Structure 1
Amino acid sequence: SALNLQLMSLTLFDVFGAALGVFVVLTVCKFVEEELSNINMPEMKGKEGRFQYTITDVKITELNLTHADLQFIPEVGLLFDVQNSSITLSFHRRILYWFFYDTGNINASAEGVNINTILNLIRDDDGRLKINNITCDARIDKMKAQFSGTLGRVYDFLASFLTSGMRFLLNQRICPALNHAALVHVNSMLETIPVRTEVDQYIGIDYSLIDDPVVTSRSLDMNFRGMFFDLSHQNDTLVNYAVDPVIREYDRMVYLALSEFFFDSGMFSYFTAGIFQMDIVNEKMPKDLEMLLRTTYFGAIMMLNPALVEAPLSLQLAVNSPPKTSIKTSGATVVMTAIVKVMVLPPGQPPVQLSSMTMVYTHIHTSFFYFFRILLDFFDSNIFKIFSNQSALESLALIPLQAPLKTMLQMSVVPLINNWTKRGVQIPLADGMDFIEEVVEYHNGFIVIGANLHFSKGLREMISVMPPPHMAVYVEPTEALPYDSDITD
């Protein structure tokens, strides 16, 4: 089936390799920092010798993820690796020592923070990209604390005990926080990306993934359906004979490959929706063209019947087959054929057909794109032929009409068609993401567009504006009291 073939490919290359790749890593780091900053730490109570203590209001005040990397792990997923980083915390203490009661703040720092997270990506039932599983390993090598207040120095010996408990809790809470961020928040953002949407009132487009993403050592490859459809006949689709796109470029962060079928399915959908037909009559008929029709070959035919001389003229245009796209290294060519009927409309009488012509319009285009929106704009100028469906002799008589009919189509018919096709189709991206620095390359059978990613919003901001997904439940893990004789610093 054509629906199971590769129609559109999206490849994310070597994210950490380029300057903008560093920006992506920084964006991910900022998101991780925001998630970890929201970790809720439980109240700590305990007794150590003559000391009774209560620790509350634990807050992560600063994260310094100095050594972070984003990598592709073949056949596994995306690896986000943080090494030898640090976390700064503050918490409030209440301590009873014999008859002395003391309160104050504790500033602590965690050093040697190592977080290793692997995201496994799949295609969900609707064809969306989804994080299926997350493997996380977090470790904090050591912590130290500094007391303030009247008896601050007296309590220094408690620092090792308290920081050991705090390190124990943090080690247990980092991965659940990141799991929640990925499986709930990021998946919620991915759910906002449309996989099947309306382009206009006539056609829609299917962006759904046709299989699970493939992760190689340098890329994340995703094959999309990339097919247009007529909204009124959604099961009426075109058979795909186009070659599968192949992406070999690596200079940009994202590469989008579009086969001939992508464009052909758009033209096919508009054709089945009945867009490519119109009737040019009365005020829609250019006066210069009407004068030309009356004073050339068709005027001679009308003179044979004086009752038709003053009757209005009409041009009925109907594309008789879906336009066909051909993509070569030199550019893209779109061929359209249509039947043009020249009619006379005598008042109170049935229309009289003067001629039936076949129009062949070929447009060679070197750019389909404007601000990275896919434009199905294929009418400008170039090759135009018209010949009679009735006789070779009439085809010769129509030669003087080639140029004026072409001009008429460019001035009246083409704008009507481009009113729909020039709207373009937005590339499916989450709100806050966009492509910049685009480059287009033509290959035999497909087009490859390279671009870099730009984030106009942080991931947390992108997620915060979205409603939570249905059935997304996060249960806060319960922790035992951190006081444990087996805990060592």
Structure 2
Amino acid sequence: MTSCLLSVLFVLPLVSSIMAAVEHAGCKIRITDKGLEMLKLETQKFVEEELSNISMPEMKGEEGRFQYTISDIKIRELNLTHVDLQFIPDIGLMFDVQNSSISLTFYRQILYWFFYDTGNINASADGVNINTALNLIRDDDGRLKINNITCEARINKMRAEFSGTLGRVYDFLASILTTGMRFLLNKKICPALDHAALVHVNGMLETIPVRTEVDSYIGIDYSLIDDPVVTSRSLDMHFRGMFFELANQNDSLVNYAVDPIIREYDRMVYLALSEFFFDSGMYSYYKAGLFQTDIVNDKMSKDLEMLLRTTYFGTIMMLNPAIVEAPISLQLAVNSPPKTTIKTSGATVVMTAIVKVILLPPGLSPVQLSSMTMETKFNAKFSMRGKRLAVHADLRRFKIFSNLSALESLALIPLQAPLKTMLQMSVVPLINKWTKRGVRIPLADGMDFIEEVVEYHNGFIVIGANLHFSKGLREMITGSNVTESDTNAI
């Protein structure tokens, strides 16, 4: 009994430390089997192009009185009729080709006794079967990567059509040549697909942003926190989904938010974002000092300026009547990171700021007339444009009160409506100008969201969409050699 108790006491701290180390994802992406169906067409075209570029060596040999040289072997046409692309649970993807055909041409040089014959030969490979499995992992940088590829290629039979004066004489030689060519093709197909996956496709995956700058103030971390989760119906990727301040990248927000859950499979792709995703962005901007502004001169409406002078006329006269006509300023500074709340009814952002009324007499030090607290709540609506997530904010609730006394708070009541109007006309459009540009989500260049639908859950949002390829897979891979420059964001 004592030994069992000691074992429990030893194991519990270990279990607790493991549980504490579990990291929730701020961003999740699911690609379903419906998305894989669209990707299959692009993959098939890409594979056909890769196999068409196979380089075949020259063949030489002797058979009885025959001496032959086969050169300039070219694949003329591929007919991949039965193609399938599907998920392999716990592994990755499988690309399967069954009962397809390949047409080739090559140049012959044949010496038989004293007869020398040359010419082109058409050949065809039938019963072409290719089975390729790609293992998907998270690499050391937190990037999606093809770790290895297993490939099996088999050609059941091959035919060659000889022409010329000695065509019939060569018939028995055809089986020798086609056997050799079938052996070469079998050996060439898998290395070509290995290179295409491990070099070309991995090169394209490296263009997807992992840890990159958003603007001159903040960056975003889209590194995977674990290996992709593959089932028979989907590929799920769990990203850190965290913004950070460029000037202090180690100062990051801890993720205590609800772990987003994707339950649907009806659309091609799903994007889930937790409250932490948005909170970390606002925390980073807050730490960078962006949530503060001065409203003075042309930025302030004449009506608001007159109301402020009227409200604080007595205070100014008591301080110094000579500065009563000095410019007046409102200084707004958010005093804590804004907080996002997502519920089934929608998303809101709560922001608290200190508002100071400052008189700016020329040649003299600024004079603070008042300090008040402003509490605001915004409605936030999310939308996708291509592969960029945009946010639109609407002011929902506004309240100000004095930091000095309840009596002054009563005196500020006439300022409530004008300050709210000022916020709606000056600050909210500025916020929406930032967020309208959007922040890029981790999709490859050339792949975009269309027909998206946003669903709100408690603690996270889920955006379901279909995929649109603005580029072919070959063009996407070719473009992967160009440095990704699309890093503008909110």
Match of 1:304 among 311, 314, 318: 318
Shift of 1:434: 1.7
SS at match of 1:382: strand
* Superposition pairs of residues 200-349 of structure 1, within 5 angstroms: 200-295=215-310, 297-305=311-319, 306-349=321-364
- Determine the C-alpha separation between the residues in 2 that align with 1:142 and 1:370: 50
Shift of 1:214: 1.5
SS at match of 1:409: helix
**Contact 2:381–2:392 (Cα < 8 Å) also in 1:** no
Amino acid at match of 1:48: E
Shift of 1:98: 1.0
Amino acid at match of 1:401: L
After superposing the two structures, state which structure 1 stretch, 270-279 or 48-57, moved more.
48-57
Match of 1:422 among 397, 419, 436: 436
Shift of 1:345: 1.8
Which structure shows the higher helix fraction? 2
Against the structure 1 CA distance between its residues 279 and 34, is the aligned structure 2 distance closer, same or farther, given a 3 Å change threshold? Answer: same
- Counterpart in the other structure of 2:121: 106
Shift of 1:86: 0.8
**Contact 1:373–1:426 (Cα < 8 Å) also in 2:** yes
* Superposition pairs of residues 43-442 of structure 1, within 5 angstroms: 43-295=58-310, 297-305=311-319, 306-378=321-393, 380-442=394-456
**Contact 1:275–1:417 (Cα < 8 Å) also in 2:** no
SS at match of 2:439: coil
- Determine the C-alpha separation between the residues in 2 that align with 1:22 and 1:193: 22
**Contact 1:263–1:376 (Cα < 8 Å) also in 2:** no
**Contact 1:336–1:360 (Cα < 8 Å) also in 2:** yes
Shift of 1:201: 0.7
**Contact 1:276–1:417 (Cα < 8 Å) also in 2:** no
- Counterpart in the other structure of 2:41: 26
SS at match of 2:157: strand
- Determine the C-alpha separation between the residues in 1 that align with 2:455 and 2:209: 26
**Contact 2:326–2:361 (Cα < 8 Å) also in 1:** yes
1:6 correspondence with 2:31 = no
- Determine the C-alpha separation between the residues in 1 that align with 2:261 and 2:369: 50
1:254-292: CA deviations, max 9, x gaps?
111100000000000000000001122223222221012
**Contact 2:380–2:391 (Cα < 8 Å) also in 1:** no
**Contact 1:343–1:354 (Cα < 8 Å) also in 2:** yes
- Determine the C-alpha separation between the residues in 1 that align with 2:21 and 2:407: 44
- Counterpart in the other structure of 1:483: none
Provide the identity percentage: 77
**Contact 1:188–1:468 (Cα < 8 Å) also in 2:** no
4+ residue stretches of structure 1 with deviation over 4 A?
368-372
- Determine the C-alpha separation between the residues in 1 that align with 2:307 and 2:361: 19
Shift of 1:371: 4.8
**Contact 1:330–1:366 (Cα < 8 Å) also in 2:** no
After superposing the two structures, state which structure 1 stretch, 264-273 or 122-131, moved more.
122-131
TM-score by length of 2: 0.91
Q: How many residues align?
A: 463
Against the structure 1 CA distance between its residues 301 and 334, is the aligned structure 2 distance closer, same or farther, given a 3 Å change threshold? Answer: same
SS at match of 2:437: coil
1:71-104: CA deviations, max 9, x gaps?
1111122111111111111111111111111111
Amino acid at match of 1:334: V
Structure 1, unaligned runs of 5 or more: 470-489
Shift of 1:372: 4.9
- Determine the C-alpha separation between the residues in 2 that align with 1:410 and 1:288: 15
CA-atom RMSD, angstroms?
Answer: 1.8
- Counterpart in the other structure of 1:475: none
Shift of 1:131: 0.6
- Determine the C-alpha separation between the residues in 2 that align with 1:36 and 1:368: 40
Shift of 1:369: 4.3
Shift of 1:421: 3.3
SS at match of 1:91: strand
Structure 2, unaligned runs of 5 or more: 1-19, 484-490
**Contact 2:36–2:86 (Cα < 8 Å) also in 1:** no
Shift of 1:383: 0.9
**Contact 1:307–1:346 (Cα < 8 Å) also in 2:** no
SS at match of 2:199: helix
**Contact 1:62–1:89 (Cα < 8 Å) also in 2:** yes
Shift of 1:404: 0.8
- Counterpart in the other structure of 2:16: none
- Counterpart in the other structure of 1:35: 50
Match of 1:446 among 434, 442, 460: 460
- Determine the C-alpha separation between the residues in 2 that align with 1:417 and 1:436: 25
TM-score by length of 1: 0.91
Shift of 1:26: 1.3
